[in-house]
Homo-oligomer: A and B are copies of this chain.
């Protein structure tokens, strides 16, 4: 088994919805929880409860836990552990990156069985080249975990860098897509759902066999119908990330909101 095998099995069994766990101050306020490590912990555990049995993947946004330092990290550990116990696939959205023994330390933290932060996959940046991630990719390979590399993003400020042309005639984003596709099942891609794929030199064939995490739905402007527009024949490979519009339903509204979103998503996917 590889990360890709496990990811696609999850999509197939539990649908393509990935629920964000984003303890943003405004969300905590809607939930009537204090913006403290204890409030964040309570929010994380209750969100996991609501997702279990309704969707297959959760994505805790590490930044919102880190606001509370080591206490926030303890809340994150509790949230991740509860999610994995409930059979959810956990993507730690931490966007780490570095080189050598440093990037290997990130693999030790996020992808190693028994680590307090053990997730199923983590997000990463490859600004220093896909080769800079070799340490964490090797560890992912060893433990059937995944490294989901940010490639083409929904935010408008990113396009000029991501479409820059490399000496080998590929855009930065397209080359990363190719490099991740050539990994042995340990890599994935972050591809924003609002992008114009042609601007990056991307086509659905380029994504063959690669797990994809697509943010940008809801608040960032993408609609579920964008799934086919951006990913075409690769639409079935995509975990569709939705966060704020679900979380804003509050603790009592979250479960039915997930049910509705999951049903909407089944209507537009293969």
Contacts and interface: CB of A to CB of B under 8 A. Distances in A.
A116 B157 contact: no
B172 A157 contact: no
Interface stretch (A8-16, A121-129, A231-239): A121-129
A186 interface: no
B127 A150 contact: yes
A99 B130 CA distance: 21
A66 interface: yes
Interface string A126-142: 11111110000000000
Contacts of A99: 153, 155, 157-158
A129 B105 contact: no
A129 B160 contact: yes
A161 B157 contact: no
B101 A67 contact: no
A263 interface: no
Contact of A127 (B76, B130, B162): B162
B167 A155 contact: no
B150 A160 contact: no
Interface stretch (A44-52, A90-98, A248-256): A90-98
A13 to B, nearest CB: 29
B128 A64 contact: no
A98 B95 contact: yes
Interface of A: 22, 24, 61, 63-64, 66-71, 73-74, 76-77, 95-103, 105-106, 108-109, 115-117, 125-132, 150, 153, 155-168, 171-172, 175
